[in-house]
Chain A
């Protein structure tokens, strides 16, 4: 069974506002830290700069959440975070100018753009992976196996039914329950259900 206490619990991002909730902050860092780190590396910062910049960005994020600069009614968390990263990266990039390449005006080609599909993909890939990991312990083994057969391995419902010993209808139910839980888990992590309108 899905753990229904999940629904009443405030989302991760909401819990961050509680300054005493160190566990929420740690959870947040575990999920988003590597994502930010990897995005900065992708932008070409070296390891040391990436470390510094990651700290700067999370300081901003922390302040932004504390001061309600991030508001789920005003826009996506993903875009809010993406903007902070981009702005900080560009700012540091411009002030440092450490890379000899950028001193020539014609080489000033940065990877920044208005919409950044690379960031969206990285975001979704990480959140999806984590959300899935979190859902798994909440389901019985057979339910999960049926879901995996259909969703991960791309088998038909009847194949999955044969493999797990469930009825075809139960396979469908299993899949839909896990997907609902997955969608809820993503909501908890990002303040948003994965909906087509929230895609890139």
Chain B
């Protein structure tokens, strides 16, 4: 027989990888049971419609789990009107009359058992047809197995508390003459405590006693044991008929072992496990997790002794030792006979520090998908409180373990995943229950606390690599998700600062370049949200630079090309915001070129088609701002075409549908600027239900909400063009309300839409309402300041808005008594004068209007705003002119105002003289201020 010589070097690598990573993942037992059934085809047959409608008098709601022992349903007891769990025994179908009788008798006995840590049995039923079943209360909570799968390990003191309580329940069972025989994490439910803190949750043991002997007989004869036999005691395997209470002691120990280490004492294929239970000592818990206190390990191993007479003789004795441990008193169990073995294991297997894992204790709430939100908060908070000590220990350990950078980072990423879930869940809760502001805040505080702990540990880690950067990025992303921009920014700055520590050869790699590029990209996105467009462009420059370099290193990477295109697009958006139309156009063109280059190899790639549609739409908008209407039309058309192609390729894809909607809205924007308001309104009217549905269907998705808001604002502009001011006011108001509900995400848009609404109200002569909208804008500015910090641009805008508000408040009085004008301070006069000028012109008193305009000009010769006001009151007058020469006169004056405006701010590339369309635009939209006409709104 010849055997290939093993590749020793490669095996060494595998060994080192295994050693450095550890391997403490396990599968939730319920999931394992489901997976097992895949092969027999049973799982795939299961569908909700095949649920039985009723079992006995119980109306079945859902399938909660299935395993070798039976099927568990959630049901309603119609008679008592309570939620129950129904467990149908799989093996019970063919019970003979004696067995049925015993089942009934045991059921009655079990129903008499009352213990806080046992799930009671309400009733056992043996229908004439069909298998027997048990009725139990429905417990709202995860199993201990779920929790371990989520957390990897349970903090030692929490584990001890859980097992102490479960032991109490088992002792009660034993006293009543039952053995459980199947204690395992999957049979321990963590019920959310009704009494609230500080009880946190109550562990409850379920699935006890009944008909177990029959089941075990079936199991052994068929040779098939459902799931893993990890918790079976040696005597249960060798002589199942002769087991006593000490088999349950063993299983309690095995469960404690899994809590502490994240894995059951023995793992592997069923037969291997059965063999190991008989003849192999489990790996010492402390070798797997150094955080485990020695006494708790001793208690655990005492339970797991192979010979029953070496274990605790009763569950009560085990419980008493756990009590001693919890009270920090000496325990009775002794680690006898284990000395030489422990020496071997401890020295052999330096397991990764689980310090970071303990941090997860605080975010346990995220795993409890089915618990009510409020209870989750309580649970999470209490977990945090109870684990303060554990956290302190963890942090100390993390500090001590700074050398083990990769490990710490690995754990950090894991922790971040959980925190991210927590935040996401907080937002989901927020979307579903709008009145849970307090709860959201609590969840957020919790997440922030964990993030802070984590960042403190990160800063202590010596050395740096790619993963370090990823951790900083991830932390920052989570802060962004929570709209906590200053913290997000700080973490990115820190990460980028530390990136400089990287050795040059590592910095030059494509992965690092890519990561740094993404970090700058995120920086830029944060700056935009904080209303710091200049900074956004600066960070965008860095992002484009590094991603370009990454793409140069790996020219054929689709992903890198796409990320670079995204970076160009978002820098373009920042430029648009500053009305640097040229720069914006260049960026979107660059993004377009990148995407087009990818297209031949990815013709069917809907993501790329969507990107193309998006980029074309952005380009069309930018060109519209620059009044290149011909170009805008062409790109708008291209955007629609790409959106159509994406729709054809993936009609049911939500992202594609969204791209198609954006393309349509963009088209309407172009139509508005061209003055074709009727067509725009028609398209938008048709689009409205779809926008509403998309937004309502996913309240948690700010992008869809924002789409709906944008649609409404474009529609409002079309309404203005059609002189339907009341409808326009409704559109803008709704649009603004949606944006306000989105928090800090849409601050720049909000100011813009607020201004549109102010002007629309003024147009309807509703000056009091206009003043109230000014308040909404002021609130937005406060929010901007809170998230961005004090900022001269915000302060300036605030002064202006306050003056505007005052102007609208006093406008009716001043029109009654024009002499009041002179009493106001200059900044109010400027606003008031413009509003009055417009009022007069609109109400056919252009002489007074122009007098007012002159007055304002005298106060401030260099106000861009005043020139623009001049531009549009001249165009209104041209529109209202009695004869051609008057009309010409006003148009000339309007052009002069426009020229003055351009002189003051060259970024306002009005292109007035080349584009006569502008004049038609201004005729139709006499109320628009420059940043509304020329700003972009997508």
Contacts and interface: CB of A to CB of B under 8 A. Distances in A.
Interface of A: 4, 7, 19, 22-23, 25-27, 29-31, 33-35, 37-38, 41-42, 44, 46-48, 51, 54-55, 58-59, 62, 94-95, 97-101, 103-109, 113, 121-122, 124-130, 133-134, 137, 148, 151-153, 176, 179-180, 182-184, 186, 193-196, 198-199
B146 interface: yes
Contacts of A33: 27, 31-32, 35
Contacts of B35: 29, 33, 54-55, 58
Contacts of B524: 106
Interface string B732-758: 000000000000000000000000000
Contacts of A179: 6, 8, 11
Given A37-B27, A54-B31, A98-B424, A180 B5 contact: yes
A103 B481 contact: no
A59 B38 contact: yes
A65 to B, nearest CB: 10
Contacts of A134: 268, 272
Given A4-B1, A22-B40, A106-B570, A30 B421 contact: no
A86 B14 CA distance: 23
Looking at B11, B367, B570, the one whose CB has the most chain A CB atoms below 10 A away is B11
Nearest to A153: B348
Nearest to B225: A26
Contacts of A37: 25, 27, 31, 149
Interface in B8-62: 8-11, 13-15, 17-18, 20-23, 25-28, 31-32, 34-36, 38-40, 43-44
9 contacts: A19-B39, A23-B269, A35-B25, A46-B367, A55-B43, A101-B477, A130-B267, A151-B15, A194-B7
Given A47-B150, A128-B15, A107 B525 contact: yes
User: Which 9 A-B residue pairings sit nearest by Cβ, starting from the closest?
Assistant: A183-B6, A103-B703, A38-B25, A125-B18, A128-B14, A27-B269, A128-B18, A34-B25, A25-B39
Interface string B215-231: 00000000010001000
Contacts of A199: 10, 13
Given A129-B23, A183-B7, A194-B14, 12 more contacts: A30-B269, A33-B31, A37-B31, A42-B413, A125-B20, A126-B18, A128-B15, A130-B268, A133-B272, A137-B272, A182-B6, A193-B7
Contacts of A29: 27, 32, 35-36
B268 A133 contact: yes
B263 to A, nearest CB: 9
Interface in B457-512: 473, 477, 480-481
Nearest to A193: B4
Determine which residue in A62, A95, A103, A133 has the highest number of CB atoms from chain B within 10 A of its CB, and name it. A103
Given A47-B150, A51-B28, A180 B272 contact: no
B427 interface: yes
A195 B38 contact: no
B61 to A, nearest CB: 18
A94 B17 contact: no
Contacts of B21: 121-122, 125
B421 A46 contact: yes
Interface string B232-270: 000000000000000000000000000000000001111
A49 to B, nearest CB: 10
Nearest to B559: A113
Given A47-B369, A106-B522, A124-B13, A180 B3 contact: yes
Contact of A126 (B23, B149, B703): B23
Contact of B36 (A26, A42, A176): A26
Given A44-B417, A179-B8, A182-B6, A104 B703 contact: yes
A100 B614 contact: no
Contacts of A113: 559
Contact of A106 (B28, B36, B521): B521
A184 B2 CA distance: 12
Contacts of A130: 267-268
Nearest to B511: A113
A1 to B, nearest CB: 12
Given A100-B700, A195-B7, A129 B18 contact: yes
A60 to B, nearest CB: 10
A199 B272 CA distance: 28
B481 A100 contact: yes
Contacts of A55: 31, 34-35, 38, 43
Contacts of A48: 369
Contacts of B27: 29, 33-34, 37, 54
A196 B421 CA distance: 38
A98 B703 CA distance: 12
Given A55-B43, A152-B348, A196 B9 contact: yes
A153 B347 contact: yes
Contacts of B569: 105
B653 interface: yes
Contacts of A133: 267-268, 272
Contacts of A54: 27, 31, 35
B10 A195 contact: yes
B777 to A, nearest CB: 25
Nearest to A122: B21
A97 B38 contact: no
Which interface residue of A27, A59, A104, A186 has the most chain B CB atoms within 10 A? Answer: A104
Contact of B566 (A41, A58, A105): A105
B424 A100 contact: yes
Nearest to B272: A134
A188 B841 CA distance: 89
B670 interface: no
B5 to A, nearest CB: 7
A67 to B, nearest CB: 14
Nearest to B142: A47
A138 B417 CA distance: 40
Contacts of A122: 21
A27 to B, nearest CB: 4
Contacts of A153: 347-348
Contacts of A42: 413-414, 417
B863 to A, nearest CB: 36
A60 B3 CA distance: 34
A97 B702 CA distance: 12
Contact of A183 (B11, B28, B420, B607): B11
A191 to B, nearest CB: 14
B918 to A, nearest CB: 32
Contacts of B567: 106
Interface string B182-202: 000000000000000000000
B338 interface: no
B654 interface: yes
Contacts of A4: 1
A62 B7 CA distance: 31
Nearest to B704: A103
B348 A148 contact: yes
A196 to B, nearest CB: 5
A106 B38 contact: no
Contacts of B4: 183, 193
Contacts of B272: 133-134, 137
Nearest to B2: A7
B366 interface: yes
Interface in B410-451: 413-414, 417, 420-421, 424-425, 427
A184 B653 contact: no
B279 to A, nearest CB: 8
Nearest to A43: B417
B595 to A, nearest CB: 12
Contacts of B424: 46, 98-100
B655 interface: yes
A47 B149 CA distance: 8
Contacts of B269: 23, 26-27, 30-31
Nearest to A20: B39
Contacts of B1: 4, 7
